[in-house]
């Protein structure tokens, strides 16, 4: 469990945000899915996949040189993620969304677990492993409608290019509209909560800095200090997300309930 005095300060910042009708912005990374058993990209490279480099599996060049192998790798990862369940951290974030009218959840994860936990609006900076698009024109593709859905990979029904997962590979731009919305949310945040990210992958890692410069209070949840902790974080809640987030959310709900009762 995190230090209770720090937890209290974090709750206080969230209360102030709530009272002032401010905006709560959350940025999550791979750590939020840790207790769901989702391995990191590298941890997933076991057995059959142990000898491949990330550049072979998650770049445009890798796909072009061996489309079947990359397609099969994403099939394997998709199956792992599909069998996982959202954990208490995902659920606590879905609950927090119901408390704040101005709420934005930004994630670097591609695992869809926030949505499965009930989060309504999720800005996915790095895409979603359950979506597909074509390699040449980004046409969205639904596998259910494809005649050659079993192929590795199938072809786009519009332009016949290969179908690929709609995730951001190394060296690719982030989806510009999603990124714009994330930057604008960060600039307007009263509180930014960062959960389970090492803070080294840009541009996601610049969002907390941006929020801080615009006057937000920054709260971080992570078992270990990240690259962001010494520079932008006001309240560092040390511990696993699936323990700390429910504690934060229930302390906040309790305080808000008490305040409402005393005003009744
Ligand atoms: P990262 O692997 O670089 O860092 C993970 C962070 O989570 C670390 O700071 C670590 O201390 C922290 N952490 C570990 N256990 C935790 C826990 N129980 N609770 C809270 N935090 C915990 O991940 P990143 O910063 O998200 O960046 C890596 C990239 O890998 C991203 O681009 C992301 O898209 C991708 N990725 C996504 C998934 C997914 O979809 N679940 C999984 C792996 C990697």
Q: Which of 2, 26, 27, 29 to mutate to test the pocket of ligand 1 (most atoms within 8 A of CB)?
A: 29
- Residue 172 tokens read as 């690719």
Q: Which of 30, 127, 174 to mutate to test the pocket of ligand 1 (most atoms within 8 A of CB)?
A: 30
Q: Can you tell me the distance from the alpha carbon of 176 to that of 60, in angstroms, rounded to the nearest whole number?
A: 18
What does the pLDDT read at residue 49? 65
What does the pLDDT read at residue 178? 98
Atom of ligand 1 nearest to the CA of 197: 25
Catalytic residue among 126, 137, 139, 263: 126
pLDDT tens for residues 180-192? 999 999 999 999 9
Supply the CATH classification number for the domain 4-36+86-126+174-263.
3.40.50.1220
Percent of the chain with pLDDT over 90: 85
Q: Domain locations in the chain? A: 4-36+86-126+174-263, 47-83+143-167
Question: What share of residues in the chain are helix, strand, coil (percent, to 5)?
Answer: 45, 15, 35
Q: What is the mean pLDDT of the chain?
A: 94
Distance 147 CA to ligand 1 centre (A): 36
Distance 254 CA to ligand 1 centre (A): 30
2 pLDDT band, cuts 50/70/90, is confident
Please tell me the residue having the least CA distance from ligand 1 atom 25: 197
150 pLDDT band, cuts 50/70/90, is confident
Contacts 24+ apart (CB under 8 A), 95-100: 95/249, 95/253, 96/24, 96/26, 96/249, 96/252, 97/121, 99/18, 99/252, 99/253, 99/256, 100/17, 100/18, 100/23, 100/24
What does the pLDDT read at residue 262? 79
* Cβ atoms of 195 and 31 closer than 8 Å: yes
Atom of ligand 1 nearest to the CA of 221: 20
pTM of the prediction? 0.94
What does the pLDDT read at residue 47? 65
Please tell me the residue having the least CA distance from ligand 1 atom 26: 29
Atom of ligand 1 nearest to the CA of 30: 26
Q: Which of 1, 2, 31 to mutate to test the pocket of ligand 1 (most atoms within 8 A of CB)?
A: 31
Percent of the chain with pLDDT over 70: 97
126 tagged catalytic: yes
pLDDT tens for residues 69-104? 999 999 999 999 999 999 999 999 999 999 999 999
Contact residues of ligand 1, CB 6 A cut-off? 29-31, 33-35, 38, 40-41, 108-111, 126, 196-198, 201, 221-224, 226, 240-241
What does the pLDDT read at residue 221? 98
Average pLDDT over residues 239-249: 97
pLDDT tens for residues 16-57? 999 999 999 999 999 999 999 997 766 776 666 677 888 889
Please tell me the residue having the least CA distance from ligand 1 atom 2: 30
Average pLDDT over residues 196-202: 93
What does the pLDDT read at residue 48? 63
What does the pLDDT read at residue 122? 98
Domain 47-83+143-167 adopts which CATH fold?
SIR2/SIRT2 'Small Domain' (3.30.1600)
Distance 157 CA to ligand 1 centre (A): 35
148 pLDDT band, cuts 50/70/90, is confident
What does the pLDDT read at residue 52? 80
Give me the sign of the Cα torsion angle 131, 137, 143, 149.
negative
117 pLDDT band, cuts 50/70/90, is very high
């Amino acid at each position: 469990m995190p230090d209770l005095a720090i937890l209290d300060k974090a709750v206080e910042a969230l209360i102030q945000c709530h009272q002032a009708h401010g905006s709560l912005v959350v940025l999550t990374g791979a750590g939020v899915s840790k207790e769901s058993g989702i391995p990191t990209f590298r941890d997933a490279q076991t057995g059959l996949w142990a000898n491949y480099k990330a550049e072979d599996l998650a770049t445009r060049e890798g796909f072009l040189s061996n489309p079947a192998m990359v397609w099969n790798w994403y099939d394997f990862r998709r199956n792992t993620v599909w069998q996982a369940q959202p954990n208490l951290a995902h659920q606590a974030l879905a609950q927090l969304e119901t408390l704040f009218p101005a709420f934005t959840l930004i994630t670097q994860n591609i695992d869809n677990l926030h949505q499965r936990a009930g989060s309504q609006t999720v800005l996915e900076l790095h895409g979603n492993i359950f979506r597909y698009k074509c390699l040449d024109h980004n046409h969205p593709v639904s596998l259910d409608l494809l005649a050659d859905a079993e192929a590795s990979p199938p072809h786009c029904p519009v332009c016949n290019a290969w179908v690929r997962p709609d995730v951001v590979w190394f060296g690719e731009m982030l989806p510009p509209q999603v990124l714009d919305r994330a930057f604008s949310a960060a600039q307007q945040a009263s509180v930014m909560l960062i959960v389970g990210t090492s803070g080294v992958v840009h541009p996601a890692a610049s969002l907390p800095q941006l929020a801080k410069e615009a006057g937000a209070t920054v709260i971080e949840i992570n078992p270990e200090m990240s690259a962001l902790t010494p520079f932008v974080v006001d309240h560092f809640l040390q511990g696993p997300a699936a323990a700390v987030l429910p504690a934060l959310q229930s302390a906040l709900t309790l305080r808000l309930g008490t305040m409402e009762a005393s005003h009744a």
